[in-house]
Structure 1
Amino acid sequence: MTEKSPIPKDQDADIHDDGDEPAFDWMKPAPKSMAEDAQPERADIAEDSSTKRVPDARSTPDSASGQPVTGQPVTGQPVTGQQPESRADRKAAEAADAGAEPALFAEPLPTSALQVRPAEAEVERRYHEREQAANAKPVAPRIFQVILAVFYPVVLLVLAIRAVTSPLFLWVEYYRPGFPGDGYGFNADDRMTYGSYAVDYLSNWSGPRYLGDLVNQNGEKLFKEGEVSHMADVKTVMLSAFGAGALMVIIGIIAMLYLRKRSKGGIRRGLFAGSIATLVLIVGLGTLAAMGWQQFFTEFHRIFFANGTWTFSLDDTLIRLFPGQFWMDAGIAIGAMVFVAALLTLIFTWPTRRRRGLPPKNEAVTLEK
């Protein structure tokens, strides 16, 4: 067998030329158009070929030798084979390759609607709402000021009644000159002793026996059953008034503590309004009492007591201890104490320029000039 001898062929070998077979197409270089179409269109990982540039070879040294690397593209030249970042960039690149001017791609920004100015009427409405909200005063301070103004006359009246229903006022009445004496035998000491029992009963927590078991010098009952029953009714009214007054005092203190922290001058305004209301009330009641004391006294008892439970004969103990002059003096004392307290409150809470935080009048005139 020589070199020119034919090489024996293997029976299993494929003697056909497979170069043109479709199965080997992947080994052949693809056409340029097909290669461009086969590039994956992934905008998230592609880079903009129009902006991606390679540094200058003259200024980029090799990492190992420190010498400039040759064969690099010139600075400022785009790197081919890179995919644009977005679809708009790819279209712009295709248009640039085709020699055409790239189309502008403008997409409205999400905040473009904020640049639209509302209508003039809407602007005015919003402005007025902001002004009203800024100038609006809190409601709570006003409520507490009204509470002070309403409670103040009642508290003063209750305190004055409590001052009158005391042994001190009895002593002043029984020993003052001109007070009418008892035509049935009570002297000033007897009146002071028995009257003190009646006054103490109105403010303590004892039952009707506190008065019902009292006897006079003859051993007889000092107070009749009707008198004891009426004094029990009076005690109920008095204790209710004292309890309401104490509750109002507590609420008033809370209101003043709140106004002291939240509203400058709120306490003064509340007491000022309360003093005015008190003076008007006292003047009105005093006028009615002066026009007809007996009618005023009768109508007052009809408001709080049932008819027939508060009328007695002249020889009954209650009438002998507390004649008509006593109740007239008590009414005058209550009105005078309330009037003086309200007048002092009015004076001390009068809204002067200094209390309102305003400059003196002469300084204000100077500032205006």
Structure 2
Amino acid sequence: MAEKEPLEPLAGAERDWDDLTPAIDDNDEAVAQRATADRLLRARRVESGLDSSEPTAISMGSPATRNAPVTGVSETPVDSMPLPEVRELLDESVAVAGEGSAPTLNSAADETEQSAPVAAVAATEAEERASARELAVEDRPRWLKLRQFLMGMAVPVLTLALAVRVVASSAFLWFAYHRPGFPADTYGMNTEERMRLGSYGLDYILNFAPASYLGALRNEKNVTWFLPSEVEHMTDVKVVMLITMTLAMILGLVAWMSSRTLKERAAGAVRRSLFAGSWATLALMAALGTLAFVGWERFFENFHHVFFPQGNWQFHASDTLIRLYPPQFWVDAGIAVALITLAITLLIMMLTWPTKLRKAREEKVAADRLELRRKLSSSVL
């Protein structure tokens, strides 16, 4: 078998190694860059649905294995040769070792056998480097604008949902009944009985209990506290509340999933989305607050027309729902929802305000990511 001519190195391989040297040398800066590359490429693999349990994005191997030449064939490092030629050498070496014949190259049989695993390792690492460079070149978050929009929309929805949930509680009911100036029941119901029945009503609209949860409540004269029409309306309120809360939680989950991987791959995207969402919340609250201030009665009626178009939400002053939740209760509830929403929104705005420090950090992350992509993709651009 004639001696094989030395193979020419892959075009640009030396330049590739020069560019990648800072990312693979064994020093502190290289370790930090390799860790950054691992995080970046893991984020890319997670978004692509690939397994990211092991940080295999930049696996360069040890200096001894990544530059080990194939003995007697060429002085060219195996990992800088084209992958088909590496596989050809590997197959050839395995065939020679299997036949047990004398070596036809300039090496002994044992050296030929030792070169086979080295070539296999080099081939695997070459594939990993090629995959890493390809991911770096194509590294762009998918549907970034849509994901930012969903995160921004989640702010007003979740903020309002949380505020409504706080108000629809026995704690707020106790506060309303005990605050100075809250109207007493004109039909003689004391505060303790009011708290008991009022808590039943608020619990009912947030649980999965049947209508008998309210319909079976009776007074000392064995008369039901709630009329069938009142129970029917509270059931409608329950449906609206459960659907609203469920949709809010789904939107929050979608927003959280949309934010994954963006910290590494789109510096500042999450912060800007939350900041924009806080401004949207303030604008929404300003609009609703203006409408409520200009005409509370009309605002209250239009609200019920939108969510309860069946029209079963009007009752007499002697009905239990009006005695438990008089008009002043809804005024207090509206003010409490507005204040809670405003407090949460201002907190989010404060935590996401584009200060110089935050912008500098984001610019540094973006610059490091861009430089890493340039180094990894320099050999294929």
Match of 1:354 in 2: 357
Look up the match of 1:295. Answer: 298
AA aligned to 2:275 is F
Give the gaps of 5 or more residues in structure 2. Answer: 1-136, 363-381
- DSSP 3-state at the match of 2:336: helix
1:279, 1:342 → 2: CA distance? 7
Q: What is the match of residue 178 of structure 1?
A: 181
Pick from 183, 186, 204: which aligns with 1:201? 204
Contact 2:263 2:269 in 1 (8 A): yes
Aligned counterpart in structure 2 of residue 320 of structure 1, from 317, 320, 323: 323
Kept in 2, the 8 Å contact 1:275–1:346? The answer is: yes
Tell whether the 8 Å contact from 1:144 to 1:259 is kept in structure 2 after alignment: no
Q: Distance in 1 between matches of 2:212 and 2:255?
A: 37
Length-normalised TM-score, structure 1: 0.59
CA contact under 8 A between 2:140 and 2:265: conserved in structure 1? no
Tell me what 1:367 maps to.
none
Distance 1:258 1:179 in 2: 51
What code does the residue aligned with 2:235 have? A
What amino acid maps onto 1:356 in structure 2? K
User: In the alignment, does 2:266 pair up with 1:263?
Assistant: yes
2:227 matched residue in structure 1: 224
SS in 1 for 2:289: helix
The structure where helix makes up a greater share of residues is 2
Question: CA contact under 8 A between 2:141 and 2:265: conserved in structure 1?
Answer: no
**CA separation in 1, counterparts of 2:179 and 2:220?**
25
Q: Distance in 2 between matches of 1:212 and 1:258?
A: 50
Shift of 1:244: 0.6
Q: Write out aligned runs for 1:74-153 (5 A).
A: 140-153=143-156
Gaps (5+ residues) in structure 1?
Answer: 1-133, 360-369
The 10-residue stretch of structure 1 (257-266 or 201-210) with the greater mean CA deviation from structure 2: 257-266
- Cα offset for 1:258? 3.0
How big is the shift at 1:137? Answer: 7.0
Residue 356 of structure 1: SS of its match in structure 2?
A: helix
Q: Report if the CA contact (8 A) 1:141-1:262 is conserved.
A: no
CA deviation after TM superposition for structure 1 residue 203, in Å: 1.0
CA distance in 2, matches of 1:217, 1:177: 29
* Matches of 1:137 and 1:352, distance apart in 2: 26
Show the counterpart of 1:362. Answer: none
Look up the SS of the partner of 2:261 in the other structure.
Answer: helix
Q: TM-score when scaled to structure 2?
A: 0.57
Residue 308 (structure 1) shift: 3.1
Q: What per-residue deviation string (whole Å, max 9, x for no partner) do you get for residues 40-67 of structure 1?
A: xxxxxxxxxxxxxxxxxxxxxxxxxxxx
Q: Which amino acid aligns with 1:146?
A: F
Deviation, 1:157, is: 0.6
**8 Å Cα contact 1:152/1:278 also seen in 2:** yes
**What residue identity is the alignment partner of 1:251?**
V
The match for 1:283 among 286, 290, 296 is: 286
Mapped to 2, the partners of 1:256 and 1:240 lie a distance apart of 24
The alignment of Structure 1 onto Structure 2 pairs a total of residues equal to: 225
2:314 maps to 1:311: yes
Q: In structure 1, what is the Cα distance between the partners aligned to 2:286 and 2:331?
A: 16
